[in-house]
Amino acid sequence: MSSRSVKILRGLALLAAVFAFGVVMFGAFVRLSNAGLSCPDWPTCYGKVSWPEHQHEIAQANQAFPDRPFETHKAWREQVHRFLAGTLGVLVLALALIASWRRPWARYAVILGAIFAAGGISFYMHGEHMWSSVLSAFAIGLPLLAAIGLDRPGAWRISVLALAVIIFQAMLGMWTVTLLLKPIVVMGHLLGGITTFALLAYAAMRFAGVGAQSDSHAALRRLVAIGIVLLIAQIALGGWTSANYAALACGTDFPKCLGQWMPPTDFKEGFVLWRGIGVNYEGGVLDMAARSAIQIAHRIGALVVFCYLAWLAHKVSRRGLRGFGFSIAVVLVCQVLLGVSNVHFGLPLPVATLHNGVAALLLFVLLATLARTQRKPSDTMFQNLGRPV
């Protein structure tokens, strides 16, 4: 593959990663402002591509969805988020196509995956849910197989994998609405967005040549990978806390909860992942003991992650990567301060939204550190990229 193609991939991956970060932030804003069900249908909003704006359209919307009266200040947020996510999908599709272009079988898999995804949406809008599910499964499976079988360096395969992830992410967005904010789906949707951002950011770094000339920092790879796993688990726990409306289950007390070190809790009820179909989870369905259990678990997880990443920052700095270690430490402290501020100030929307964004930023710093400990692709490997198979 020519250096020009690599530059295009690098630029497109960087653009998509920045855009994905914005989508994650805006998605957090939508979720935290309780606008997740402000458009009761999908992918339209009260049957419109945008959202109802005129009085007669609003009247028609309220008549069509009497259980979900139209709210302008919320509906635009949800639909704009869908527009942004769709734009990101186009960017990722372009990235996957370029990354797989010189391998015909992989290129066709990506193209067919995109066609099946579009068909799945069309069938869903016409009420053919079974056929929609079948086409969506193919839409995810084809680029996934292409990513696994593609004989390219990791960044190329990750670029194709991102397409499979974002198609599944679109399905999670649909289920978030149709399953009425089911917590496991809302948490999965958050993780899908974070995963998409992480894949694109890592691919952009590798396309940009982030890496080492030798294996002098190889001993750090496993330690950084453990930190990434712990952080993703904590992000999932944060998503579960938000999806169950448990962010203020301990009131505004910190480090105590409801004025106690160990208030009444119900961990078993708080972590039931599946509760059936048809329940509206807007506002939450758990009692205070279950929500307190979730909040306390989130705090314990935060403590574990803080201790490990603080140690990792020190370890990375001592091994000669001071800039990376310093970055981990600074972003980590900011994230903890935002978490405490969320509780102390009663979950203000700007702080809560920023808490989500800084979590993604902390993941980015860890991924950059991981990339820095890995070897760059050899010159021979890059020279062989243009050979068709």
Q: DSSP of 160-207, one letter per residue?
A: HHHHHHHHHHHHHHHHHHHTTS-HHHHHHHHHHHHHHHHHHHHHHHHH
Please determine, for residue 45, whether its predicted confidence score (pLDDT) is greater than 60. Answer: yes
Residue 35 CA to residue 337 CA, distance in Å, equals: 26
Residue 272 CA to residue 267 CA, distance in Å, equals: 9
Which carries the bigger pLDDT value, residue 258 or residue 381?
Answer: 258
Containing 330, the helix (H) or strand (E) segment is helix 322-344
Residue 1 CA to residue 385 CA, distance in Å, equals: 5
Distances (CA, A) of 91 to 96, 236, 291, 326: 9, 26, 39, 32
Q: Could you tell me the pLDDT band of residue 385, with boundaries at 50, 70 and 90?
A: low
Please determine, for residue 379, whether its predicted confidence score (pLDDT) is greater than 50. Answer: no
Report pLDDT for 213: 83
Please determine, for residue 383, whether its predicted confidence score (pLDDT) is greater than 50. Answer: no
Distances (CA, A) of 261 to 88, 114, 238, 255, 345: 44, 52, 20, 8, 20
Q: Which residues contact 32 (CB under 8 A, 6 or more apart)?
A: 242, 347, 349, 352, 353, 356
Residue 325 CA to residue 311 CA, distance in Å, equals: 10
Report pLDDT for 389: 37
Report pLDDT for 214: 82
Report pLDDT for 195: 97
Report pLDDT for 164: 97
Token pair for residue 261?
């070190």
Query: What is the rounded average pLDDT of the residues 187-216?
Result: 93
Nearest to 176 by CA among 374, 42, 338: 42
Which carries the bigger pLDDT value, residue 81 or residue 379?
Answer: 81
Enzyme catalytic residues: 78
Residue 168 CA to residue 280 CA, distance in Å, equals: 23
Query: What is the rounded average pLDDT of the residues 219-226?
Result: 95
Query: What is the rounded average pLDDT of the residues 111-118?
Result: 97
Query: What is the rounded average pLDDT of the residues 103-115?
Result: 96
Residue 16 CA to residue 204 CA, distance in Å, equals: 9
Beta bridge partners of 212: 375
Query: What is the rounded average pLDDT of the residues 286-301?
Result: 97
Query: What is the rounded average pLDDT of the residues 7-30?
Result: 96
Please determine, for residue 387, whether its predicted confidence score (pLDDT) is greater than 90. Answer: no
Q: Could you tell me the pLDDT band of residue 381, with boundaries at 50, 70 and 90?
A: very low
Query: What is the rounded average pLDDT of the residues 363-374?
Result: 96
Is the Cα dihedral 49, 50, 55, 60 positive or negative? positive
Q: Is 319 helix (H, G, I), strand (E, B) or coil?
A: coil
Residue 354 CA to residue 360 CA, distance in Å, equals: 10
Q: DSSP of 222-246, one letter per residue?
A: HHHHHHHHHHHHHHHHHHHHHHTT-
Q: For residues 144-166, b (16+ Cβ closer than 10 Å) or e, as one string?
A: bbbbeebebbebbbbbbbbbbbb
Residue with tokens 């692709």: 377
Report pLDDT for 168: 96
Please determine, for residue 382, whether its predicted confidence score (pLDDT) is greater than 80. Answer: no
Please determine, for residue 1, whether its predicted confidence score (pLDDT) is greater than 90. Answer: no
Report pLDDT for 78: 96
Query: What is the rounded average pLDDT of the residues 344-370?
Result: 97
Q: Could you tell me the pLDDT band of residue 2, with boundaries at 50, 70 and 90?
A: low
